[in-house]
Amino acid sequence: MSPKTANVRDDDPRVRAWNDRPARRGDYVVYWCQAARRAVDNPALELAVARANELDLPVVVYEALRPDYPFASDRFHAFSLACARDSALALEGRGIAHGFFLPRTATEARGVAAKVFARAALVVSDEHPSFVFPTQNARAAARCACAYLTVDDLAIVPLARLPAHEVAARTLRPKLARLLDEHLAPVTEIEPRRRAEIDWPFEPQDLARADLEGAVAACDVDHAVRPIADRPGGARAAEARLRDFLARQGRHYAEARDDVLADQTSGLSPYLHFGAISARRCAIAAREALAEAARAPFLEQLIVRRALAFNHAAREVRHAAWEGVPAWARATLEAHAADARPEAAGVEALERAESRDPVWDAAQRQLLERGRIHNVMRMYWGKRLLVLLPEPRLAFDFARRAMDRYALDGRDPNTYAGVGWCFGLHDQPFPERPVFGKVRPMGLGALKKRFDVDAYVRSVRQPSLLE
């Protein structure tokens, strides 16, 4: 039976204490919003409110967007700012102070979080196994004079309940099936008892009135990677996309998900990546809106594949690196590193989408200009790099960096599991062949069985056909 609420209980496996300090006297309880950029349906925020009420203190939300995280660009800054604007509106409605800090330079950013935490009785933040978050949490917890907790609302079933490093979806699926129902519930909002006017140690942005485009332009980030106009950030856009998908394409997902031209998948991955919506919320809504046969293939991706990626990130510290690819796959690819690759091109040419393979170039152009590639094309794009670059490790590094730099949903456990899959992760050995060794190959033939590849290439040249 499903629980009534996903709010965090005492001794909850979703909560991690990062230091052994108790809550102490302070001016407030802080929720430091890092990975889950939303103020609705957020169990970490509600834990902070509940603890603040117990301590008879106000709760405050601190959110920052530094310019010096890896691959910071207009694309990701614009999306994050739109998320923060939605959070500001939701928090204002609840009378919770929201301090949003937008430093333009790394120097401006230094030391500010520590000042916010110095006055806190307790800090609550977001659990996350990847990208900058493990380091940020460890550093903040070490420097905090008070207790520092994180809440895991990532892959529905808490990562702590999946302690083994799973080798494939087939080993994880039955474990998730046993644990899932315990965690499928919405979060209940708790009324804060005390309210606070905060004197923030920085100039907070008035997000409701700010010129967000101008604010991004003033930040020291990569301005060459442009925002994606048809993927606005924020919890409201996430909810609208979820509802639209469930009402229109959801019931055709099983038949249409591999048809790159039809482009019928949910498009939720950027919202899930920035935490504008939770996988939990999407799964609950899909259960309510779709019949069993229609929702099962969608939930397989949203729950099983996603949890597999997060499990890999949580259990393999090198998950974003070549060393995170299984040893058998690295060994076979390296054994074939000297195989002839007549189509090989340079890294710079590939980055500009100039490989001389029009299908690969079309996918790369979508990544550069639209910040996304359909799942089927991502598989072809990643596998093809083994042929287009002279060495497997170079191919892995190119794939990872390109996804991180350009994909709106990049810098995510799904990025590293998806890229890793192209090189043998979560897969099994296949009959040995040139270049790929025993790693599953994928060529143009596999795409042609699924959709009209020439029409795809044409549609990328005229993006309006893909709308």
* Residues lying near ligand FAD in the complex (CB under 6 A): 257, 265-269, 272-273, 301-302, 305-306, 309, 375, 378-379, 382, 403, 407, 409-410, 412, 414-415, 417-419, 421-422
Closest approach, Cβ 59 to ligand FAD, in A, equals: 29
User: With respect to ligand FAD, which residue has the nearer C-beta, 58 or 418?
Assistant: 418
The torsion of the CA quartet 265, 269, 275, 279, rounded to 10 degrees, works out to 50
Residues ≥6 apart with Cβ < 8 Å to 210: 85
Range 148-178 burial, b when 16+ CB lie within 10 A, else e? bbbbbbbbbbbbeebeeebeeeeebeebbee
Closest approach, Cβ 251 to ligand FAD, in A, equals: 13
Residues 310, 352: contact at Cβ < 8 Å?
no
Question: How many Cα atoms within 13 Å fall on the side-chain side of residue 87?
Answer: 33
Closest approach, Cβ 11 to ligand FAD, in A, equals: 29
User: With respect to ligand FAD, which residue has the nearer C-beta, 51 or 378?
Assistant: 378
- Alpha-helical runs (H) found in 161-265: 169-179, 212-217, 235-248, 253-256
Closest approach, Cβ 422 to ligand FAD, in A, equals: 5
- Looking at residue 122, the DSSP 8-state letter turns out to be E
Closest approach, Cβ 162 to ligand FAD, in A, equals: 15
Strand pairing category for 59-64 and 120-126 = unpaired
Closest approach, Cβ 377 to ligand FAD, in A, equals: 9
- Closest listed residue to residue 270, CA positions, set 160, 171, 410: 410
User: With respect to ligand FAD, which residue has the nearer C-beta, 98 or 411?
Assistant: 411
Closest approach, Cβ 89 to ligand FAD, in A, equals: 25
User: With respect to ligand FAD, which residue has the nearer C-beta, 136 or 414?
Assistant: 414
Closest residue to ligand FAD, Cβ-based? 418
Taking the alpha carbons of 301, 306, 311, 313 in that order, is the dihedral positive or negative? positive
User: With respect to ligand FAD, which residue has the nearer C-beta, 28 or 310?
Assistant: 310
User: With respect to ligand FAD, which residue has the nearer C-beta, 58 or 250?
Assistant: 250
Residues 344, 384: contact at Cβ < 8 Å?
no
Closest approach, Cβ 73 to ligand FAD, in A, equals: 15
User: With respect to ligand FAD, which residue has the nearer C-beta, 249 or 332?
Assistant: 249
Residues ≥6 apart with Cβ < 8 Å to 445: none
Closest approach, Cβ 6 to ligand FAD, in A, equals: 18
Residues 55, 174: contact at Cβ < 8 Å?
no
Radius of gyration for the alpha carbons in the chain, expressed in angstroms and rounded = 22
The Cα–Cα gap between 267 and 171 comes to: 27
Closest approach, Cβ 81 to ligand FAD, in A, equals: 20
Closest approach, Cβ 181 to ligand FAD, in A, equals: 19
The Cα–Cα gap between 423 and 101 comes to: 39
Q: How many residues does the chain have?
A: 467
Strand pairing category for 28-33 and 15-17 = unpaired
User: With respect to ligand FAD, which residue has the nearer C-beta, 62 or 380?
Assistant: 380
Strand pairing category for 147-151 and 59-64 = unpaired
- Closest listed residue to residue 77, CA positions, set 191, 215, 279, 196: 215
The Cα–Cα gap between 50 and 29 comes to: 10
User: With respect to ligand FAD, which residue has the nearer C-beta, 259 or 452?
Assistant: 259
User: With respect to ligand FAD, which residue has the nearer C-beta, 46 or 239?
Assistant: 239
User: With respect to ligand FAD, which residue has the nearer C-beta, 19 or 375?
Assistant: 375
